[in-house]
Amino acid sequence: MTIEQHQHVTNVARDVVFNESDHSRPGEQVDTKTVGQVTVEAPVITARHVNVHYSEKHAIKDVSIDVARNSVIAFIGPSGCGKSTFLRCINRMNDTIPNAKVSGSIQLDGIDIYDRSQDIVQLRARVGMVFQKPNPFPKSIYENVAYGPRIHGLAGNRADLDEIVQTSLRKAGLWEEVKDRLDNPGTGLSGGQQQRLCIARAIAVDPEVILMDEPCSALDPIATAKVEDLIDELRENYAIVIVTHSMQQAARVSQRTAYFHLGDLIEVGPTEQIFTNPRHKLTEDYITGRFG
Amino acid sequence: MTKTAMAMTTTQARVAASLRRRYAAEMRFRAYGILAICIGLAFVAFLFTSIISKGYTSFQQTYIALDIDYSAELIDPEGTRAAQTLQAADYEAVIKASLKEQFPEVEGRASLRHLYGMISNAGEQLLRDRVVAKPSLIGTHERVWLLADDHVDTFFKGQIDRKLPESDRPISDEEIVWVDQWKAQHRAELRFNTAFFTTGDSREPEQAGVAGALAGSALTLLVTLLLSFPIGVAAAIYLEEFAPRNVWTDIIEVNINNLAAVPSIVFGLLGLAMFIQFFGMPRSAPLVGGLVLSLMTLPTIIIAGRASLKAVPPSIREAALGMGASRVQMVAHHVLPLALPGMLTGTIIGMARALGESAPLLMIGMVAFIVDVPHSLSDPSTVLPVQIYLWARSPERAFVERTSGAIMVLLGFLLVMNAVAVILRNRFERRWS
Ligand SMILES: Nc1ncnc2c1ncn2[C@@H]1O[C@H](COP(=O)(O)OP(=O)(O)OP(=O)(O)O)[C@@H](O)[C@H]1O
Ligand SMILES: [Mg+2]
């Protein structure tokens, strides 16, 4: 798809949304098949009619959803349903996949991130990402955390940078474990420590939104608990989108839950309600373990 | 025994039976591997012993001590001590006179010619340099160690069988007598052959050295490295990280792969037509040699570079991009440092091939007989493999050991080059991991 076409689709999609009502108002009527409450008050992210194609494969089908500030939303659903794909739309990581085509509109604070004027570097500084597999840079622990502030010019001098590194590692709950070996390679840490290092790296640039793709899938229960506590603390300052296969985890850390199924967003709602009283049959099947 | 237990035992028996077969296969495979390595090592050992046993003698040279009479009559009959006179004086006559003095019994034109032929004509230059530097030597006596002629040297090193009939050996009976006499008087000895490493080629084997070819090879490789490494790495990065995947990049990729397989002599012809005939660059120059070898080395570096870029895990790229690094930052900060060791390996392979290459350089005239050691990129010069080829073709017995000696120098050059690359690579690996 060319940029022009993309713009066209974006505009059409936006027209549909705007014609219905102002999306920032609660109770907005969005033209969607999704069951539940897709909109929230004063959302940080507003996705409308997002479609993703990998060549012929239609991986995300007309998904509309809001992400609220200072809260955690969990994406759940069977493997291959498009959770990661949708997550990667939010910081445009899908741009790096040559055959992936995204259409629709995703707004961050009311600005379309797929707009031509949107700087992708700036976007990714505002929307941080933690990947499923811990992927620290093969550099020192210090360099790992300092990398983001350094490329974005956030620290004026070495002392500022030291400060940022320390606070980020503290927030990620890793400081006590690594403060004496900041010069050791980040790849030499344990899996759980590496994942917390990646979280520290992501929050070092002080983003508005943090995307986490199954951050605990490689971790033991203790490390998982630490990361979950961390997510709960981070919620005070950031909006967090987390993909998880663990129902318990979704229930523990999130305020809202979204259920994806074969590229469709089936149901969104308060976590409590989704787990106790799902409104859609597919959601219920999945929650109760009747699905694959 | 229950049914399941029975099933278990039969399964285990089967596993046990198959295990024996599997271990046997593994042992066989290992034996083949060890055999292959042994054969390879044997060949290498054979090659090295043959080269070293033939070539080590080229690092030594026979010197004869003569009592030189710096006779004023011969050097400066008018007594002016003018530099010009000292330069132009007939030092050959000085050497001849001292030989004649030592062997007064030698008579007849043929015998005298033999006697005078025992000393290399490099001796004249040595005496000239000494006298010009210190004119007060004139009128004095001095014992000077002079380079022996190559047939004396070959005999002295025991490479000529004295029991052969006189007509079958390059040294005559009377010459053998003189050499034996010198040896008895401790006037003949083997010394380290510094000249081999400091002089260029010569028609006289005893004066021929590898310095010219060594400098030529070094200059040529310098040009090759400076051109092919940055261009190759940049091309690999562009093709792998930035270029869109379309028909054009496919065509470029196929062409690069084909270029890597083109016979090197074709690059020589291309260099001749393009650099020398079209651009008018000098013949036999390291500059042109380096350009030609760069053409040849580039595909190797590009292919190795792309392979090592591909080997960098995508998770690192995602991490960098996810942090908001631009594409260039991602490559420069994360991908390139990880790929650089592999790129260096590819470069070393390419450079080693370039070092051993002679065919394309023959086409651009680097095969000429060149005495002077090149000092700049446009000086005419030759390279080590071509020098080896030239000496291997020469009929004199003394060139045989020099051929092997030059091969040893070439291998030494290669070792040094590889060592430097390995050190560089280790440093990079340590810094980044
Ligand atoms: N790069 C790609 N090229 C082609 N198809 C892809 C690509 N990435 C994902 N897909 C397809 O898109 C669909 C959604 O994939 P996605 O990775 O988003 O699933 P997911 O919900 O994250 O699954 P999981 O829980 O297993 O991680 C899948 O059918 C997958 O095969
Ligand atoms: Mg996934």
Query: Per-residue pLDDT tens for B194-223?
Result: 889 998 998 888 889 999 999 999 999 999
- Taking ligand 2, which is a single-atom ion, which protein residues have CB atoms under 5 Å away? A 84
Residues contacting residue B344 through CB under 8 Å, at least 6 positions apart: B421, B424, B425, B428
Chain A residue closest in CA terms to B245: A98
B73 sits in which H/E element = helix B72-75
Which residues share a beta bridge with B146?
B64
B220-237: pLDDT as tens digits? 999 999 999 999 999 999
Closest listed residue to residue B127, CA positions, set B113, B115, B141, B111: B141
Q: Which CATH class is domain B211-428?
A: mainly alpha
* Residues of B in Cβ contact (< 8 Å) with A187: 433
Is the CB of residue A26 below 6 angstroms from any atom belonging to ligand 1? no
Q: What pLDDT is attached to residue B86?
A: 86
Q: What pLDDT is attached to residue A288?
A: 86
Residues contacting residue A107 through CB under 8 Å, at least 6 positions apart: A45, A46, A47, A48, A113
Q: What pLDDT is attached to residue B332?
A: 93
Closest listed ligand to the CA of A53 = 1
Structure tokens at A213: 């793709």
Q: Under DSSP, is residue A64 helix (H, G, I), strand (E, B) or coil? A: strand
Q: What are phi and psi of A199, to 5 degrees?
A: -70, -45
CA distances from B352 to B47, B97, B296, B356, B414 (A): 18, 51, 12, 6, 7
Q: Where are the domains of chain B?
A: 60-192, 211-428
Nearest-angstrom CA–CA distance, A238 and A130: 14
**Can you tell me which residue has the tokens 């320390």?**
A166
Question: Which protein residue has the closest C-alpha to ligand 1 atom 30?
Answer: A80
A45-101: pLDDT as tens digits? 999 999 999 998 999 999 999 999 999 999 999 999 999 999 999 999 988 888 899
Closest listed residue to residue B426, CA positions, set B341, B353, B354, B314: B341
Nearest-angstrom CA–CA distance, B170 and B157: 14
* A84 CA → ligand 2 middle, Å: 4
According to DSSP, the β-strands at A209-213 and A127-130 are parallel
Cβ atoms A77, A261 nearer than 8 A: yes
Running DSSP on this structure, what letter comes out for residue B77?
A: T
Residue B34: CB atoms within 10 Å: 10
CA distances from A14 to A20, A37, A104 (A): 10, 19, 8
Q: What pLDDT is attached to residue A1?
A: 41
Structure tokens at A102: 């995204």
B146-180: pLDDT as tens digits? 999 999 999 998 888 888 888 888 888 889 999 99
Q: What pLDDT is attached to residue B421?
A: 86
Residue B203: CB atoms within 10 Å: 10
Structure tokens at B220: 């040529």
Nearest-angstrom CA–CA distance, B143 and B188: 12
Q: What pLDDT is attached to residue B159?
A: 87
Enumerate chain A positions whose Cβ falls within 8 A of a Cβ in B. 91, 93, 96, 98, 121-125, 128-129, 131, 133, 135-139, 147-148, 151-152, 185, 187, 198, 201-202, 205
Longest distance between any two alpha carbons in chain A, whole Å: 58
Structure tokens at A187: 């790849």
Distance from CA of B226 to the nearest CA of A (A): 29
Is the CB of residue A133 below 6 angstroms from any atom belonging to ligand 1? no
Nearest-angstrom CA–CA distance, A97 and A59: 13
* Residues of B in Cβ contact (< 8 Å) with A122: 324
Cβ atoms B224, B293 nearer than 8 A: yes
A66 sits in which H/E element = strand A57-68
Nearest-angstrom CA–CA distance, A58 and B238: 31
Nearest-angstrom CA–CA distance, A145 and A136: 9
Residue among B245, B316, B329 whose CB faces A137 most closely: B316
Average confidence score pLDDT of chain B: 89
Structure tokens at A126: 């505002």
ipTM over 0.90: no
Nearest-angstrom CA–CA distance, A94 and B352: 42
Q: How confident is the model at residue B6 (pLDDT cuts 50, 70, 90)?
A: low
Closest listed residue to residue A112, CA positions, set A253, A14, A208: A14
| pLDDT, mean of residues B51-65 | 90
Structure tokens at B237: 């990065």
* A82 CA → ligand 1 middle, Å: 6
B60-97: pLDDT as tens digits? 999 999 998 888 888 888 888 888 888 888 888 889 98
Is the CB of residue A131 below 6 angstroms from any atom belonging to ligand 1? no
Chain A residue closest in CA terms to B313: A135
Of the residues A122, A126, A132, A137, the best mutation for testing chain B's interface (the one with the most B CB atoms within 10 Å of its CB) is A137
Q: Residues 271-300, chain B: which have Cβ within 8 Å of A?
A: none
Between the two ends of chain B, the Cα-to-Cα distance in Å is 58
Nearest-angstrom CA–CA distance, B210 and B382: 10
* A83 CA → ligand 1 middle, Å: 8
Position B17, amino acid: A
Chain A residue closest in CA terms to B242: A96
**Can you tell me which residue has the tokens 């030092």?**
B91
| pLDDT, mean of residues B319-337 | 92
CA distances from A265 to A48, A65, A78, A94, A282 (A): 12, 9, 12, 19, 11
Running DSSP on this structure, what letter comes out for residue B282?
A: P
Nearest-angstrom CA–CA distance, B266 and B119: 45
Structure tokens at B156: 């002295």
Low-confidence ranges of chain A (pLDDT < 70): 1-29, 290-292
Q: What pLDDT is attached to residue A17?
A: 36
* A251 CA → ligand 2 middle, Å: 19
CA distances from A71 to A45, A210, A253, B421 (A): 12, 11, 9, 53
Cβ atoms A239, A69 nearer than 8 A: yes
Residue among A93, A98, A148 whose CB faces B318 most closely: A93
* B234 CA → ligand 2 middle, Å: 34
Nearest-angstrom CA–CA distance, A46 and A36: 16
B293-324: pLDDT as tens digits? 999 999 999 999 999 999 999 999 999 999 98
Q: Cβ separation of B321 and A96 shorter than 8 Å?
A: yes
Q: What pLDDT is attached to residue B232?
A: 95
Residue B88: CB atoms within 10 Å: 11
* Residues of B in Cβ contact (< 8 Å) with A205: 323-324
CA distances from B30 to B15, B37, B218 (A): 22, 11, 42
Specify the higher pLDDT residue, B428 or B378: B378
Q: What pLDDT is attached to residue A13?
A: 38
Q: Is the dihedral of CA B11, B13, B16, B21 positive or negative?
A: negative
* Residues of A in Cβ contact (< 8 Å) with B315: 131, 133, 135
Q: Under DSSP, is residue B122 helix (H, G, I), strand (E, B) or coil? A: helix
Residue B61: CB atoms within 10 Å: 24
